[in-house]
Every structure is written in C-alpha cells, then in structure tokens.
C-alpha cells in the first residue's frame, strides 16, 4: 500500500503537465513522455500518477483525449485530439483548415485505393493523382502552401496522419516509398464520412463501392 502523494505537489505537477500538453497541442506532434519528465523534472510513481490525472482532466474539462501511440519503439509518446471533432470550421485557423482539406483528399484516396492485400499506395501513384487536381509536390500552391513536398512527406508523417514506409522491392535500384493511414488519421477521420463524401463527388451511391461500403459497415458493427 503506497503512501498517498502530497496533494499540493501533485496539483503543481498536474498543472505543469497540462500546460506542457496544451502548449504543444497545435503542432500535433507526438509528445514524448521523457520530454515531459525532463522539463518538469519529476519521474517515477509520482509522475505516472500525475500524468494519468492530467489525462483525465484534459478529457473532462477540455474534451481532449491524450492517447499513447502504439509501437513507438521504446520511447513512449502520446498524441492529443478532440473527442468530438469538426463541429465548426471556425475552430481552425486558415492554414490548419487548408491542411485538413488536403489531408481529406489524400486520406480518401488512400482509403479508396487500398485493400487488405494491397495496404498502401506508392508515392508515385499519389503524386500522379494529386497532379490531376493541379497539386504538385514541387510547385507552390495558392491554397495549400509553398512546400507541398515537405507538408506531405515530412509534416503529415511526423504528425502521424500519414505513414510513409520504404517499399520492399528487390528489382528497383531506387528507393521507393509508399503511404498508408497513420495512427492519428485513424483517430481523427471517420472512414464512413470519407466514403460518403467521395461517393458524392463521384456522383454515385456509396453502395456502388461494394468492398469499401462493406468495410465501413463492418467497422460500425464492431464498434457499436
């Protein structure tokens, strides 16, 4: 039976953790547990208890979920997102809104074009698709910014929206990359929404996309 922690000290540590998390929230980068520990100079049982309490407060008071990133190779890290997303576009600033739109396009494309046997799409395939929408990796875009290459291959990957992996191919001498949904994308984007939006754009009923429709229905069943 461990002795209860000093209430005042606990409160200070919890407040520090909350401040730390909220300060970095807008970057959407994963928060490393050891960075928090280093900054507030606390560790062990006291830290873990405070971290858990901070997570509860973030959910109860701010509606923000702080979730551990799975398979983060030794260094434990967390990402934060709203428990109830996208109720008003005004919640985001101009730049964030534009980035979310680009993500919507990319994630929809990846979702519609992947299957269980082909779980990712190649960078070349993605690049060509975006070109048809006049979005070029290496050309400044009026709406999506000056460095689309960096945004997609670096920023979105670091934010865990996209997973970018080297594709296995013994034949190729060049290194090729392929994309799939990142951990954050799975939490923030609703596949059913994307399917229905895509169907609307293509002017077909959602059921026309047989496999995908079954997939989102099954997901709903599993969750509900």
Min dist CB 85 to another protein, Å, is 9
Residue 98 dihedral angles phi and psi, to the nearest 5°: -65, -40
Give, as ranges, the residues between 134 and 193 that touch another protein (CB under 8 A): none
What distance in Å separates the CA atoms of residue 214 and residue 54, rounded to the nearest whole number? 39
3-state secondary structure at position 123: helix
If the CB atoms of residues 66 and 178 are measured against another protein, the closer one turns out to be 66
The sheet with strand 177-181 has its strands ordered as: 121-122, 177-181, 162-166
Residues with Cβ within 8 Å of 72's Cβ and at least 6 positions away in sequence, in order, are 30
If the CB atoms of residues 32 and 192 are measured against another protein, the closer one turns out to be 32
DSSP lists the bridge partners of residue 78 as: 31, 68
Min dist CB 28 to another protein, Å, is 11
Min dist CB 88 to another protein, Å, is 4
Interaction pattern, residues 41-80, with another protein; x per rule: CB under 8 A: x---------------x---xxxx----------------
Q: Taking contact as CB under 8 A, which single stretch among the options 17-25, 131-139, 191-199, 216-224 is the one that binds another protein? A: 17-25
If the CB atoms of residues 57 and 197 are measured against another protein, the closer one turns out to be 57
Q: Is the CB of residue 184 less than 8 Å from the CB of residue 159?
A: yes
Taking residue 60's Cβ as centre, other Cβ atoms within 10 Å add up to 9
Report if residue 25 touches another protein, rule: CB under 8 A.
yes
**Quick one: how many helices (H) and strands (E) in the chain?**
10, 6
Min dist CB 161 to another protein, Å, is 17
What distance in Å separates the CA atoms of residue 107 and residue 102, rounded to the nearest whole number? 9
Candidates 24, 77, 137, 217; binder of another protein (CB under 8 A) is 24
Burial class (CB in 10 A: 0-12, 13-18, 19+), 18: buried
If the CB atoms of residues 82 and 127 are measured against another protein, the closer one turns out to be 82
Give, as ranges, the residues between 79 and 98 that touch another protein (CB under 8 A): 82-84, 87-93, 96
The two tokens of residue 85 are: 């997303």
> How many residues make contact with another protein (CB under 8 A)?
36
What distance in Å separates the CA atoms of residue 170 and residue 71, rounded to the nearest whole number? 27
**Tokens 């606390």 — which residue?**
42
Min dist CB 87 to another protein, Å, is 4
If the CB atoms of residues 92 and 141 are measured against another protein, the closer one turns out to be 92
Q: Which residues bind another protein (CB under 8 A)?
A: 12, 15-20, 22-27, 29, 31, 35-36, 39-41, 57, 61-64, 82-84, 87-93, 96
């Amino acid at each position: 039976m461990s002795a209860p922690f000093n209430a005042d000290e606990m409160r200070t540590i919890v407040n520090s953790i909350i401040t730390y998390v909220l300060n970095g929230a807008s970057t959407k980068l994963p928060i490393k547990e050891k960075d928090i520990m280093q900054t507030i100079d606390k560790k062990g049982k006291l830290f873990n208890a405070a971290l858990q309490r901070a997570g509860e407060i973030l959910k109860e008071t701010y509606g923000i979920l702080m979730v551990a990133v799975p398979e983060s190779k030794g260094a434990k890290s967390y990402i934060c997102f709203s428990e109830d997303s996208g109720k008003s576009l005004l919640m985001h600033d101009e730049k964030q809104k534009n980035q979310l739109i680009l993500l919507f396009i990319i994630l929809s494309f990846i979702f519609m074009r992947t299957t269980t046997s082909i779980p990712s799409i190649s960078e070349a395939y993605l690049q060509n698709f975006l070109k048809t929408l006049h979005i070029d990796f290496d050309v400044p875009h009026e709406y999506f910014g000056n460095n689309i290459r960096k945004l997609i291959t670096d920023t979105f990957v670091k934010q865990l929206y996209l997973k970018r992996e080297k594709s296995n191919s013994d034949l190729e001498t060049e290194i090729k990359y392929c994309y799939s949904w990142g951990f954050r994308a799975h939490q923030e984007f609703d596949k059913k929404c994307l399917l229905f939006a895509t169907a609307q754009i293509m002017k077909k009923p959602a059921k026309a996309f047989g496999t995908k429709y079954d997939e989102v229905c099954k997901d709903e069943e599993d969750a509900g």
